[in-house]
Amino acid sequence: MRSVTLTDLYNHPITQKYVRRSGMAHAIAVAHHAFDLAKEHHVNPDLAAKAGFLHDIGHYEWYNDGEWDYDLYRNYDIHPIKGAERAHKLLVRLGEDKHAAKEIAHAVLFHTDSALPKGDYQLSPLQKVVHLADEMDKQPGDFHHYRSSDKEKELSLIQELDRKIDSSL
């Protein structure tokens, strides 16, 4: 029995505020991809789906005079760092197992190296799965951040994934 489900995460106001900012449809798609990849990479599917769902929770809005400023974003963004902390706080607050919360936070931190110092990172299988899942959903022009879907559809995809995770554990 999992102490925190994806539905719990989805329903939380923090998720609705910050995950919606970077695209709820993208987050849900990445969660599904991460679940699918978890099996072949011998990774816990619950942790993979949660990290996939929360991976972009750290995004900030880089607006300048009402327009998204890509230069500001490219030069100053730290969304993987902020996201790791935000995801960790949310998970712990909801009662997630502390070891799981740390693993998920690390997977959020390493899903992209865009905000990390240059280096040769040895990614754990879980970190690799979340990175690959994110890549699988990327679209030209960053369109994946702007795709939308209705809330009923979102919730049914989240619940479907919760059922899949429950039956795979």
Residue 46 is a binding residue for Fe ion (CB under 5 A): no
Residue ranges in 109-148 that form contacts with Fe ion under rule CB under 5 A: 134
* Minimum CB distance to Fe ion, residue 13 (Å): 21
Q: Which residue, 134 or 162, has its beta carbon nearer to Fe ion?
A: 134
Q: Is 13 exposed, middle or buried (0-12, 13-18, 19+ CB in 10 A)?
A: exposed
* Minimum CB distance to Fe ion, residue 11 (Å): 21
How many C-alpha atoms does 137 have within 13 Å on its Cβ side?
26
Q: Is 58 exposed, middle or buried (0-12, 13-18, 19+ CB in 10 A)?
A: buried
* Minimum CB distance to Fe ion, residue 43 (Å): 18
* Minimum CB distance to Fe ion, residue 26 (Å): 6
Determine the distance from the C-alpha atom of residue 121 to the mean position of all C-alpha atoms in its chain, rounded to a whole number: 19
Q: Which residue, 51 or 100, has its beta carbon nearer to Fe ion?
A: 51
* Minimum CB distance to Fe ion, residue 59 (Å): 9
Q: Which residue, 98 or 145, has its beta carbon nearer to Fe ion?
A: 145
Total site size for Fe ion, rule CB under 5 A: 2
Q: Which residue, 34 or 91, has its beta carbon nearer to Fe ion?
A: 34
Residue ranges in 52-111 that form contacts with Fe ion under rule CB under 5 A: 56
Q: Which residue, 77 or 134, has its beta carbon nearer to Fe ion?
A: 134
- Binding residues for Fe ion (CB under 5 A): 56, 134
